[in-house]
Structure 1
Amino acid sequence: MSVVALDGVTFGYGDRPVVEDVSLTIESGEFVGLVGPNGSGKSTLVALALGLARPDSGTAELFGTPAHRHGDGTRVGYVAQQSTRQASEMPVTVREAVRMGRYPHVRWRFGEDDRAAVAAAFDRVGVADLADRKVAELSGGQRQRVFIARALASEADLLVLDEPAVGVDAESRTAFYDLLDRLNDEGITVLLVEHDIGVVTTRTDRVVCIDCRLQFDGDTAAFAESDALSRAYGPDHRPLEHSHGAGHAHESPREESS
């Protein structure tokens, strides 16, 4: 059973399609990078995959069921755009935020299994020392780790991150992507929406590039050699060599939304 299965999905506003006739399948255990220029439909495609929006045509399935009917929120950890900024207004501690991930599992009250799951999430993400601090007091990189811990506490099988490191300093970004690598090695499926092509080509195993329509879907080596970037970003695009500590890869112009 595929984790995500999109078949010919189209979605738009009025007569203007944002995503047009895109088919995409993500299997369990994959680490997929989703790229495309500003306004290309990346966030919309994520919303369709998670059932947050319904396609005008085509079908979207999540864990084998229609995405908009998928009711098991424990299986998906979603870190949306601007979540780091919104976290600056969260009046809760890190412990309380991570415990929220267990709420779908709780029947009557927090039990031993719930406390063990929260403790394990703290350990896996490395935020135990922050447990009593307010989320609003944390740096951007620390907040992102808290969101991941919350998803792990819910026992998520799929992590979806929509440009999670915008506004996070370089050192924290590297540590954050190292964490995603480890979680993927442990079997968690990761879908990463990124504006930084260097991150995608050095960190993920597979690249999906869209610009309303699907421009490329394949492994990172083939993507680097393809003309997908020029087709998606335009003929004037000139990739740059960009280092992320794990080698060199192309980098596209920075974008602020999708």
Structure 2
Amino acid sequence: MKWTDVDPDRVGLRVERLGIRRDARPILSDVSLTVRAGELLALVGPNGAGKSTLLAAICGDLAPAAGTIEFAGRPLTRWAPVELARLRAMLPQRATMSFPFTVAEVVAMGRAPWAGTRLAAEDDDAVAEALRLTGMQTFAGRVFSALSGGEQARVALARVLAQRTPMLLLDEPTAALDLHHQELVLRLARDRAQQGGSVVIVLHDLGLAAAYADRIALLAGGRLVADGPPDAVLTADRLSEVYQHEVEVLPHPHTGVPLVLPVRP
């Protein structure tokens, strides 16, 4: 699918001097970044750095205490909820279902924003494509709650893909997955960006971020420490300081992609 309605030269997302507070405690402070159409941005950093909070604010689930967020040049607050649902799809860290929905029914929930529009005619194709891309087509009739954690994670991703929005916001989508499916998820995210979409993905695995992201935003203590290409952001001195553990960064012998290795006694 081509995202022909997205101008590749236009900023898809702009965050300016964002601040988030919780119970009067600052969670994010003075964070600014942009994501253009056709770009995959990885948010990385230690636990508690503010990655998921930043993604929730971008999604519209958290109100900023300071700063602004814009989609396609328009402030987030000026988009109606249904408009946002057609613009960006959010994958949270955990997906739970209280009722015995089948896998196909869960994925079809991603089509809800298009109900009553001409694009509702794409519902069946969108669900089938999302199931195929995530390797879950043979699970379509299974009950979601009966699946393993990794299988549920892939169904949740399929629901997001079925939404067919120009922007994907993915919060730790590889956490419950084995190596094969981690690579599958990052390839899907990479493909979406190459088709003209915008992708923001929270990752703990710095190797995956280095291999697949166009840019990496490194957060620590609620602040943006660095933002740029993987080889510029993932330096040994910077990562050792941010993660409070000595690391070394070596180029992959075949691709040159940075490999981050902890120094062990």
On whether the aligned pair clears a TM of 0.5, the verdict is: yes
Pick the aligned partner of 2:129 from 120, 131, 137.
120
Residue 95 of structure 1 contacts residue 132 of structure 1 at CA under 8 Å; is this kept in 2? Answer: yes
Distance 2:102 2:38 in 1: 31
After alignment, is 201-210 or 111-120 more displaced? 111-120
Q: Write out per-residue CA displacement over residues 89-111 of structure 1, whole angstroms, 9 at most, x where no aligned residue.
A: 55211110111111121129996
| Structure 1 portions without partners, runs of 5+ | 254-258
Q: Write out per-residue CA displacement over residues 192-250 of structure 1, whole angstroms, 9 at most, x where no aligned residue.
A: 1011111111121110001111100000111233643234223x43247798x976611
| C-alpha distance 117-174 of structure 1, shift in aligned 2 (>3 A) | closer
Q: Write out per-residue CA displacement over residues 123-143 of structure 1, whole angstroms, 9 at most, x where no aligned residue.
A: 343322221112223333333
Pick the aligned partner of 1:34 from 43, 60, 78.
43
Q: Does 1:80 align with 2:89?
A: no
> What TM-score do the two structures reach when normalised by structure 1?
0.83
Match of 1:213 in 2: 223
Match of 2:209 in 1: 200
1:33 CA drift (Å): 0.7
Match of 2:56 in 1: 47
Distance 1:180 1:65 in 2: 25
Pick the aligned partner of 1:150 from 149, 154, 159.
159
> What TM-score do the two structures reach when normalised by structure 2?
0.81
Match of 1:225 in 2: 235
1:67 CA drift (Å): 2.0
1:59 CA drift (Å): 0.9
Letter in 2 for 1:206: R
Letter in 2 for 1:250: V
Match of 2:7 in 1: none
Match of 1:18 in 2: 27
Distance 1:248 1:232 in 2: 17
| C-alpha distance 108-32 of structure 1, shift in aligned 2 (>3 A) | closer
Letter in 2 for 1:2: V
Q: How many pairs does the alignment contain?
A: 248
How many percent of aligned residue pairs carry the same amino acid?
Answer: 33
1:15 CA drift (Å): 4.6
| C-alpha distance 38-144 of structure 1, shift in aligned 2 (>3 A) | same
Match of 1:135 in 2: 144
CA RMSD of aligned residues (A): 2.9
Match of 1:105 in 2: 114
Match of 1:256 in 2: none
| Structure 2 portions without partners, runs of 5+ | 1-9
Distance 1:131 1:5 in 2: 37
Q: Does 1:165 align with 2:177?
A: no
1:32 CA drift (Å): 0.8
Distance 1:149 1:156 in 2: 13
Distance 1:91 1:240 in 2: 47
